[in-house]
Chains A and B, each alone.
Chain A
């Protein structure tokens, strides 16, 4: 057992990336929403102010989660999952809305659910271990959890977030001992079920596929795609300048939420968009580095889960803006307007910084894999900690 290093520092590069993203987000939420806020709320700072409140709460979340003990997280994971399932069921079946409202408290449920899924799945994997190789005994419960959370989210009339949850869960399982063939089979069959569901619900597939040729219906389904690309295209290399976007003048819907990336592209050009891409790429690189240093399987899967959160949301959001995916509403982490998302993302960021710190603490000492050895390992380590205290 190695001793704790003195003054274990979080990953500074990662920290800078997060700070930059949040800062750009706050500025761009203001810039992109100014017309909309002025028009709808008669106050050009309306959305900026609300986002700023979420940012302050997020700072608290960062502080809490960057110093929380992972064991505590592991302990609350099962309880959190049950709470999340109840919440998702209540929202999906009873309320049928993505917004949870209780007096002054109101938040977007999917962000809470993805947070719970991110901390619970690693817990499950660590417990199940080699059982995951068996489809019915190990993998199936996990898949049921993922599918029910995703399905209940779809019932909340939030199809795209349901998809994102599904991707998130599958990504965490993909790095677990579960068999690849099982995962692939389940993924493919889920896709078939989803497509069938779409067909049965009478939703017109051509409405989804119109994004491939938006100029067929430039004023209806094609509108968002056309204006997203126009916005990006207008930016050119250096952009039209801060607050100079014209597409945000009600042309591009959701300019300050799901399509904020396009406004960044218009105002800052490819310099700005590539900066955003680079920042997320930095998170990926540093995140993988942190994951590889984890000696605790739970931490490892948690790291991958957090990364999956950031990666899928950012990649899918940018691909939608670039007409590489059909337009559905997914926020760009840290940047899009949305208090719950910002708060949860900052909590996840805090957690990742926490893990980066732990990663440096535990240089070596791999955790034994199975059965008895592992139990012995944890037992002795626990004793060690108590002694150290």
Chain B
């Protein structure tokens, strides 16, 4: 549409005349075409971004927008055989504050100092050093939390978690083991061995994260309930444990030993009743102790057993019928005897002794002489059958297998040396298990600590039965051995273990230890031990007491035997006093568990209605915030004048877009209808009273959990 200047407007056709207004439609079309092109470009790009790349952007944004918080599962407890709690998870809070919201650090620090006992400066330092968020305290009990919250209006951040609590503190600490302070990661003992059972499966809660790192619960995803850990029912008896540990500690201190071990066991089943290692540690505060204190010496410390090992040559003699115990006489060479180029010594000079006396008085020379008729292979087989040179298989971590030479590596003096308890390394538990076999008539039992794994409702998940590893010899042989061992206590080296009226069978052991540093059995490093069982005629307990490197006295008979005696005496007098050992007893220290004036039950993660009921039953007023059927946070709103919580706010979130089938309520009474609806978490509106005549939604319709349901009732 060109316009010529000379043309007059009225001379043109109507269509062309429009241009006569002086405007340039051609130019307009150009501009409009440009705009239309840009619109098409935008539309095409929208299709590309919003449809073709949709999946990519959804995935990319989920990475930073969504967050999964673990809802910690409660770790299972560890109980003794009478149900006393040895380890338990306690609800605690980690508390911190974001530096941007803090109002009065001085005042806050004073409140914390007042309730948690650390100096004011400590908290101020923590606040000052933190960059954005200061963690003030890691373990605060719910009661203390309530007190702190009542005294400050700072916006504290409380993170709910569990922390491990060991009511018995040092008692059986190496057996129970411990979990580290954060995350309940097991580090040692039963805690570690049964980690898979104890730890449970944490639940999951999904959150949306905004760019400022605040979290909001995500309604789109279901809340996944945690599965709490299973509990362990052990064979330990904390009363025995207490006795054993006390006596052991006294003995170790008295004889200035470096450390000591004592194990009490039921010889018929292999159940460990007590396992003590002194010095121990407090698992509640483990980091204060040296690593050596964590060690379960009873199963992991190797030593040369010395005379307690003479059980093996004795067994060999009896099972192979080599000698008659009372007729064969051995010349003990007045305490010094050179044999195959090696000198053997006795702790006191003996003349000629019977075989029985050789063992009762623990003559090394006598045993060495008797061992001359031992067959290498048979002897080795017997040692293996007794379970040496291999782990006993007890259900505790860190067990040592011991050191036992193969017969082909035996030298000419290995058998005599081994017969008196050298050239072999064992753990205290291995030796005890040998004597337990004597006590039960020749059965080598599998020692164990855990007899049942149960879930939190008491359902047994796993049960461990006593198991016999092998029958070593006939009960008659066992009786013969037991008689010799009784002689040790009544006449021989173990006389200090004797108790009038309680026959004890046992064996002392005193062994110089090989020092790897000087590569010699240098004098001064002894292991004194006593192992045996009682009552000797009808054994109920097998026990070993080992003191390592005592500085005051070193003979097993002098050092270990009295400890054995004291423990046996205590246990037995206890049995006399309480024939029914399994009667309920009050827990000694469970009252130490954190509690306080009035604690709001922890309902986080619970179904909303249940939580409200629970709180109201406990006398709290409840305020619900938000819609939904799942409590994701709770908070104390008001306190009464005594500082006890009175009103609790529950933040509810929709658990998941669960829908239910609307039940048929027609014809039911109002109460029945309400019962039907109760579990669904719906809001019910009742019109009238009596029998349900109409309902909305209709029966069978799908309803969401927080929907309203209206029922119309009429009397009659």
Contacts and interface: CB of A to CB of B under 8 A. Distances in A.
A281 B56 CA distance: 29
A174 B46 contact: no
Contacts of B216: 249
A177 B27 CA distance: 9
A319 interface: yes
Given A281-B36, A294-B21, A322-B45, 13 more contacts: A171-B31, A176-B24, A229-B49, A232-B57, A234-B58, A234-B61, A246-B208, A265-B46, A291-B28, A318-B42, A366-B9, A366-B17, A369-B9
B653 to A, nearest CB: 15
A227 to B, nearest CB: 9
A277 interface: yes
Contact of B50 (A176, A269, A295, A373): A269
Given A230-B57, A319-B42, A175 B23 contact: yes
Contacts of B46: 232, 265, 270, 273-274, 277, 322
B39 interface: yes
11 contacts: A130-B5, A232-B46, A234-B57, A249-B209, A251-B65, A284-B32, A288-B28, A288-B32, A311-B35, A315-B35, A367-B21
Interface string A223-239: 00000011011111100
Contacts of B27: 174-176, 180
Interface stretch (A44-52, A76-84, A297-305): A297-305
Interface in A256-307: 265, 269-270, 273-274, 277, 280-281, 284, 288, 291-292, 294-297, 300-301, 304
Nearest to B47: A270
B43 interface: yes
Chain B: interface residue count, which band? Answer: 35 or more
Contacts of B41: 319, 324
Contacts of B64: 251
B220 to A, nearest CB: 9
B552 interface: no
B577 interface: no
B25 interface: yes
A130 B25 CA distance: 16
A358 interface: no
A273 B18 CA distance: 37
Given A129-B22, A234-B58, A369-B20, A277 B42 contact: yes
A250 B209 CA distance: 10
A35 interface: yes
A251 B211 contact: yes
B21 A304 contact: no
A292 B23 CA distance: 9
Interface of A: 35, 39, 126, 129-130, 171, 174-177, 180, 229-230, 232-237, 246-247, 249-251, 265, 269-270, 273-274, 277, 280-281, 284, 288, 291-292, 294-297, 300-301, 304, 308, 311, 315, 318-319, 322, 324, 364, 366-370, 373
B21 A281 contact: no
Contacts of A319: 38, 41-42
Contacts of B21: 294-297, 300, 366-367, 369
B22 A174 contact: no
B210 interface: yes
Contacts, number: 145
Pairs of residues from A and B, 7 with the lowest C-beta to C-beta distance, nearest first: A233-B57, A249-B210, A250-B211, A236-B54, A270-B50, A175-B27, A251-B211
Contacts of B3: 369
Interface in B177-229: 208-212, 216
A273 B39 CA distance: 12
B11 to A, nearest CB: 12
Contacts of A251: 64-65, 210-211
Contacts of B45: 322, 324
B212 A247 contact: no
Contacts of A174: 27, 30-31
A146 to B, nearest CB: 16
A292 to B, nearest CB: 7
B51 interface: yes
Nearest to B50: A270
A35 B47 contact: no
A277 B39 contact: yes
A100 to B, nearest CB: 31
Contacts of A270: 46-47, 50-51
B49 A233 contact: yes
Given A175-B27, A236-B50, A322 B42 contact: yes
A129 B65 CA distance: 59
Nearest to B65: A246
A366 B31 contact: no
B38 A367 contact: no
B53 interface: yes
Given A246-B61, A247-B61, A265 B50 contact: yes
B591 interface: no
